[in-house]
Chains A and B, each alone.
Chain A
Amino acid sequence: MHEMSLAVAVVDQVETAAKARGVVGVRSIELDVGELAGVVADALAFCFELACAGTVVEGAELITRTVPGTARCAACAEDWAVGMPPRLLCPGCGAAADGLVTGRELQIREVRWADPGAPREEHRQPITEES
């Protein structure tokens, strides 16, 4: 189970970004996880709880968005959902796909910082203002 390593990597990156901005807490982290990234979302959520303990990220919500796998055949100008297990041969002409368009993402998409005025232990939900 490598989800613990991934959870630690997420927490490290968000912590670094938080320190650079002088942020006191993190409300939520949104992750894009491709179908073919080899990550179990439940295991990652479990590890995340452990990995963020004692850091500025503690208490943050982890939102995981699954990105379906799609591939492209340039000759047929066609994209298709590869499914699971993935089919990387073009359903039209049978040739190898020219590449995977989506499906291997493992990316921190967005982080919402906690409102500096809100005491963390009260779990208040301040209205966010996009910058």
Chain B
Amino acid sequence: MCRAVDLQRAVLAKNEAAAHILRTELNARGTTVINLLSSPGSGKTALLERELRLAGERGVSAAALTADLATENDARRLARSGVPVKQVLTDGLCHLEADMVARHLHDWLPESTRLLFVENVGNLVCPAGYDLGESLRVVLASVTEGEDKPLKYPTAFGLAQLVIVTKTDMAEAAEFDETAFRANVQQVNPGVEVVLSSVRDGEGAGALLDRALATAEGNRVHTPVMAQAGA
């Protein structure tokens, strides 16, 4: 009898398979998923409120799935934009997994949805390892979080396909060093685009929506070095 077995199996194989199926199914019906990651309080919901409202004004059919450990506050905020919104309560789980997303889309996501924004649980560690079937992964950091955030959370920033700096209207007060932040992003994720945004003064309005639409239209998306394993 065989006593030692070389399994060579990825621990997250089940999630990766579920994510692949979800991406294939959604792409086939014309829906593109955008996964938004950040620390709690970086402004994911505020940014999404603005971009969803813009989507409505431009006649782009969008929807949003928002995840939190508790409360439906974010869903109520996002629903004001007029697009279909669903709250996912993770009951304490620190991240979303692909099968959770698939379960929540079933019987809810309108057939005509072009862009589905998934607001992950506010956390820069755990969600980084979970593919949710997205075609664009966006990582946010606000100016108050410090320039070295990309170095402190290298896996999250290293796997981003777009980085958005939020609350730039507060940059001066927070003494945010944009040059240092960009250099730190480049160290862990060379070539990724960094966009500046403020929902207060309107900087970067529509930038996320534009990138999401470009992705949906099949434009090439940045491939992070960290995602190119075994080069």
List which B178-231 residues lie within 8 A (CB) of chain A.
Answer: 186-191, 225-226, 228-231
How far is A74 from B230 in the complex, measured between Cα atoms in Å? Answer: 12
**Once the chains bind, are B3 and A130 in contact (CB under 8 Å)?**
yes
CB 8 Å contact bits of A14-50 with B (1 = contact, 0 = none) = 1001000100000000010000111100000000000
**Once the chains bind, are A2 and B125 in contact (CB under 8 Å)?**
yes
**Once the chains bind, are A104 and B191 in contact (CB under 8 Å)?**
no
**Once the chains bind, are B11 and A112 in contact (CB under 8 Å)?**
no
Main secondary structure of the interface of B (DSSP, over half): mixed
Interface centre among A21, A31, A38, A87 (most CB of B within 10 A): A38
Instruction: Check B10 for interface membership: any CB of A closer than 8 A.
Output: yes
B152 in complex: contacting residue of A36, A85, A129, CB < 8 Å: A85
Total interface residues on B, CB under 8 Å, equals 43
Residues of B within 8 A of A37 (CB): 129, 155
How far is A36 from B94 in the complex, measured between Cα atoms in Å? Answer: 19
Instruction: Check A6 for interface membership: any CB of B closer than 8 A.
Output: yes
Instruction: Check B86 for interface membership: any CB of A closer than 8 A.
Output: no
Min C-beta distance of A9 to chain B, whole Å: 5
Total interface residues on A, CB under 8 Å, equals 47
CB 8 Å contact bits of A35-71 with B (1 = contact, 0 = none) = 0111100000000000000000000000000000001
Instruction: Check B119 for interface membership: any CB of A closer than 8 A.
Output: no
**Once the chains bind, are B5 and A38 in contact (CB under 8 Å)?**
no
**Once the chains bind, are A97 and B11 in contact (CB under 8 Å)?**
no
**Once the chains bind, are B2 and A131 in contact (CB under 8 Å)?**
yes
**Once the chains bind, are B229 and A100 in contact (CB under 8 Å)?**
yes
A98 in complex: contacting residue of B5, B130, B189, B228, CB < 8 Å: B228
Name the residue on B nearest A10 (C-beta): B11
Interface positions of A (Cβ within 8 A of B): 1-2, 5-6, 9-10, 12-14, 17, 21, 31, 36-39, 71-72, 74, 84-89, 95-101, 104, 106-113, 115-116, 128-131
Closest 6 pairs (CB-CB, A-B) = A99-B231, A96-B190, A99-B228, A131-B2, A2-B126, A85-B151
Instruction: Contacts A13-B14, A36-B158, A37-B155 known; list 7 others, CB within 8 Å.
Output: A5-B97, A13-B7, A71-B231, A87-B187, A88-B188, A100-B226, A100-B229
| Subset of 25 A-B contacts with CB under 8 Å | A2-B129, A9-B11, A12-B14, A13-B11, A17-B7, A21-B2, A37-B155, A38-B128, A84-B154, A86-B187, A98-B228, A106-B12, A107-B11, A108-B7, A108-B9, A108-B11, A109-B6, A109-B7, A111-B4, A113-B1, A116-B1, A128-B3, A130-B4, A131-B4, A131-B5
